[in-house]
Amino acid sequence: MTDSYRFGTQEIESVLKQKNEVRFDYFIKRVADWGEVWGLKGPAGWVLLGDEQQNEVAVFWPFKEFAAICATGAWADSTPTSIDLDSFRARWLTGLERDGRRVAVFPNIERSASVLSAAELRARLEEELDNLE
């Protein structure tokens, strides 16, 4: 899947410099197209961000390369790990929604991201998948 898509350094840097909303739209389109989501997994489990209220927020990227470039600082011992889109929708988003957890979509190197509910992310993904059919 993502093994077929090759990024140039300029493309990666250009996308990471975009505003949160632009990266969010990029995430939705690419995840729907390629059928997978990426997270960072370390020795203690999946990496999380804290929101303004210090709640733990699950973090996801559209491609391995973007997750890998963000594996710095506290996340330096983490490895990009793929999640199949069907599993992401059925298990991950359902579990995150049940637990009341929010998601951070496509953080950049400064950890800035679009943060929303799992239900909102599911709705946007479903809408994009419907558009592909």
Average pLDDT of the segment spanning 86-105: 95
Average pLDDT of the segment spanning 82-96: 96
Average pLDDT of the segment spanning 104-122: 94
For the stretch 26-69, pLDDT in tens is 999 999 999 999 999 999 999 998 877 788 899 999 999 999 99
In DSSP terms, 42 is beta-bridged to: 45
Domain that holds residue 110: 2-132
For the stretch 115-126, pLDDT in tens is 999 999 999 999
Average pLDDT of the segment spanning 3-14: 73
Reported as a pLDDT band with limits 50, 70 and 90, residue 13 is confident
Counting the structural domains of the chain, the total is 1
Reported as a pLDDT band with limits 50, 70 and 90, residue 4 is low
Q: In what order do the strands lie in the sheet with 48-50?
A: 48-50, 56-60, 102-105, 114-117
In the chain the beta strands, taken as DSSP E runs, fall at 36-42, 45-46, 48-50, 56-60, 79-84, 102-105, 114-117
CATH of the domain at 114: 3.40.1350.90
pLDDT over 70 for what percent of the chain? 95
Place of tokens 């804290």: 50
Inter-residue contact 50 to 56 (CB < 8 Å): yes
